Chain A
Amino acid sequence: MALMDKHKVKRQRLDRICEGIRPPILNGPMHPRPLVALLDGRDCTVEMPVLKDVATVAFCDAQSTQEIHEKVLNEAVGALMYHTITLSRDDLDKFKGLRIIVRIGSGFDNVDIKAAAELGIAVCNVPATSVEETADTSMCLILNLYRRVTWMHQAMREGTRASSVEQIREVASGAARIRGETLGIIGLGRVGQAVALRAKAFGFSVIFYDPYLPDGVERSLGLQRMATLQDLLIHSDCVSLHCSLNEHNHHLINDFTIKQMRQGAFLVNTARGGLVDEKALAQALKEGRIRGAALDVHETEPFSFSQGPLKDAPNLICTPHTSWYSEQASLEAREEAAREVRRAITGRIPDSLKNCVNKEYLMATPQWPGVDHGAVHSEHNGAAAYRFPTGLVGVTAGGLTGAGAAVEGIVAGNLAMAHGIAPMSRPPHTPSPGQPSKAETDRDMPTDQ
């Protein structure tokens, strides 16, 4: 009976293979010198030394998958990426041999990690390198709102002079005392905790809301926990966002929730632009319901003061998604990302990975139910050969032209996507990043049919 079932599963698999559906095969055989591509950047100088003996490294400098060269889509086994490119389900489908994606940074809302898992692609991030940079910048933004340094410097640049005390009070008008104010932190992860501890040194009372944390964290750090978002908003003089963006919290700060905030509160966002409805924020700033906002991230990036809903909003401080950046943090993140790719290539996915964010989805995706992993390999020779669509020869022993220590830049022009993979039918799934999202009530794990 067991043998018949095994054969039945195998037949189903081969049928699907012939239909053009790539099975998720973890740890199947890999080219001896796989292709690793930096998708949305040009500079691979930091990654090269870490990877050059196990992979060929290329860069795409693309802002969308349309700009990625067909060769990379077909052959790349590993991808490195920042936050400036989005990989939706459809984007991920374009890659034929991808097994590992590493985000050089902590946020991964721009990758559909569940779709990736279904396709057998592990997604990793680098969560720790910019924790203090982000926390320090968040405090800097908070202080700029309270002490108004940035706006006063701007006024000075524009020629304002303040001779008498009354004129000084006028220029500094709105500058508020910090001691006794309440800072409300949404999301008490690594960055949220670092901000909380810094804020306490200034005399802020710190409260937080985080529905994912277990009980008791607040007691370790001496913070007050709020049970609901509304509770936090009602009690905060300054609200700071430190949560990741997911399918549940798009436009967390919107017209309705802003009205729950205190009259004249401050808002700070160094997390993700999608958390804040900028139209609602602009309206609140104009009416003074929010006294000032400092944003490092925006709904549309790159941000420009001359465009978008915040165009005419007063009392705004904006920076171009730089809160994470210091030279050391950048180097550390790139090295760690390259090392994660290396672990994926030389080890096992996901066991060898340090920061795999879709591990549970990867493992849940059934492959050969009840089949011994060792036995899987030999039966997979057919599948492995299939891995590259007919018409494209597998990567040659020499690798790509200019391979070896050289970095090849593959920048695409307009590409016709000319492979015959039929669109897959999938079970209902959560919306991919970059697509309009609806609230998903049904949280089933995606399964293969």
Chain B
Amino acid sequence: MALMDKHKVKRQRLDRICEGIRPPILNGPMHPRPLVALLDGRDCTIEMPILKDVATVAFCDAQSTQEIHEKETADTSLCLILNLYRRVTWMHQALREGTRASSVEQIREVAGDAARIRGETLGIIGLGRVGQAVALRAKAFGFGVIFYDPYLPDGVERSLGLQRMATLQDLLIHSDCVSLHCSLNEHNHHLINDFTIKQMRQGAFLVNSARGGLVDEKALAQALKEGRIRGAALDVHETEPFSFSQGPLKDAPNLICTPHTSWYSEQASIEAREEAAREVRRAITGRIPDSLKNCVNKEYLVAASQWPSMEVATVHPELNIASAYR
């Protein structure tokens, strides 16, 4: 019985191979000099030294995703928050456009809504590494920091001295400034939308250095125009590259935008590229996913059963077809 089942699975597999569907085979044989491709960039100078003896490195320069380096992103997030409260970016812009402020009354006018920070509440959505870094920096300015994160286990808040909110609504109701630091997944597209914006405080601030898809820009534009949101600072947008002259935010006031650069610093960029190349090297020279340091789909990989209760050694000879297909 067991042998018949085994053959049935194998037949299904070979059928799929012939249909052109690549089976998930971990640690199968690999080309001695496999091809590693940089998908959405052109510059491989950092990766080359790490990989050149085990792989061929190529670039595709297609359009796709970025990665985040946590400290840079946290520092930029604080910069965005401070620019909303202290209005430096807008005032610099006003000066560039020729505004002059001679008397104190004129100074007060240019400075507009510049607000005191101590006593304000910063609401962090997503208390991962970036969220935590932002929380600790914000405390130094006198922010009361609260967070919402449905994925974290109990007690994290006690380590850091933050207040945890049980629901998104609770967080929105109690925050003077909301900052997004969660990843985008199938559950939280347009997390910030017309309905949730109406749960926010009148005149609250919004900061997003996470993912554009978390925010419904049409709803945000409307809220900015009506003053329900006093100001927004966005490093990421629904459509990138962002342009002030296009899209739903085109005529929205009180906006600060940067072109998805919160992660970037020269050092972070180099480090990230080196680490990525090293991870590819580990994949090529070691075992997947055991040798990998930051495999994000490990649980799904291992669960997809391949040759149940078959040894790896017996798998190999049957896979020559597969490897050639590779």
Contacts and interface: CB of A to CB of B under 8 A. Distances in A.
Interface of A: 40-43, 61, 63, 82-84, 132-133, 136-137, 139-141, 143-144, 146-150, 152-157, 159-169, 171-172, 175-179, 197-198, 200-203, 301-306, 317-323, 325-330
Contacts of A150: 83, 88-89, 92-93
Interface string B171-213: 0000000000000000000000000000000000000000000
Interface of B: 40-43, 61, 63, 66, 71-72, 75-76, 78-80, 82-83, 85-89, 91-96, 98-108, 110-111, 113-118, 136-137, 139-142, 233, 240-245, 256-262, 264-269
Contact of A147 (B43, B75, B117, B240): B75
A130 to B, nearest CB: 9
B244 A304 contact: no
27 contacts: A42-B105, A43-B105, A132-B116, A132-B142, A133-B86, A133-B116, A136-B85, A136-B117, A143-B76, A147-B72, A149-B79, A156-B243, A156-B257, A156-B258, A163-B240, A163-B241, A164-B41, A177-B71, A198-B141, A200-B140, A203-B71, A305-B98, A320-B94, A322-B110, A326-B116, A327-B116, A329-B116
Given A136-B86, A156-B242, A166 B111 contact: no
Contacts, number: 216
Contacts of A329: 116
A152 B265 CA distance: 14
B42 A166 contact: yes
A321 B61 CA distance: 46
A197 B118 CA distance: 14
B95 A166 contact: no
B30 to A, nearest CB: 28
A318 B90 CA distance: 10
Nearest to B94: A320
B321 to A, nearest CB: 37
Given A149-B258, A163-B63, A321 B241 contact: no
A176 B76 CA distance: 11
Contact of A149 (B89, B95, B267): B89
Nearest to B255: A153
Contact of B264 (A42, A168, A203, A319): A168
B95 A320 contact: yes
A394 to B, nearest CB: 32
Contacts of B117: 132, 136
Contact of A140 (B40, B63, B88): B88
B41 A165 contact: yes
Contacts of A152: 258-259, 261
A325 B86 CA distance: 8
A306 B244 CA distance: 25
B151 to A, nearest CB: 25
B163 to A, nearest CB: 19
A144 B79 contact: yes
Nearest to B82: A140
Contact of A146 (B63, B66, B75, B260): B75
B63 A177 contact: no
Nearest to A173: B266
A255 B87 CA distance: 31
B72 A177 contact: yes
A83 B41 CA distance: 52
A133 B116 CA distance: 6
A154 B93 contact: yes
Nearest to B72: A177
A176 B82 CA distance: 18
B248 to A, nearest CB: 16
Given A177-B72, A178-B75, 14 more contacts: A147-B79, A153-B256, A156-B243, A156-B244, A156-B258, A156-B259, A160-B259, A162-B259, A163-B241, A166-B42, A168-B264, A320-B101, A322-B91, A326-B115
Contacts of B110: 320, 322
Contacts of B42: 164, 166
Contacts of A43: 105
Contact of B93 (A42, A157, A176): A157
A177 B41 CA distance: 22
B79 A143 contact: yes
Contacts of B265: 175-177
A303 to B, nearest CB: 7
A40 B106 CA distance: 12
Nearest to B142: A132
Contacts of A327: 113-116
Contacts of B137: 201-202
A166 B43 contact: yes
Nearest to B80: A149
Nearest to A176: B265
Give the interface centre of B85, B89, B110, B256 by most chain A CB atoms within 10 Å. B89
What 10 A-B pairs are tightest by C-beta distance, nearest first?
A201-B140, A140-B82, A143-B79, A172-B261, A162-B259, A320-B101, A326-B116, A322-B111, A177-B265, A325-B111
A256 B104 CA distance: 34
Given A169-B264, A328-B116, A153 B89 contact: yes
B261 A137 contact: no
Give the interface centre of B71, B80, B82, B242 by most chain A CB atoms within 10 Å. B82
B40 A319 contact: no
Contacts of A171: 259, 261
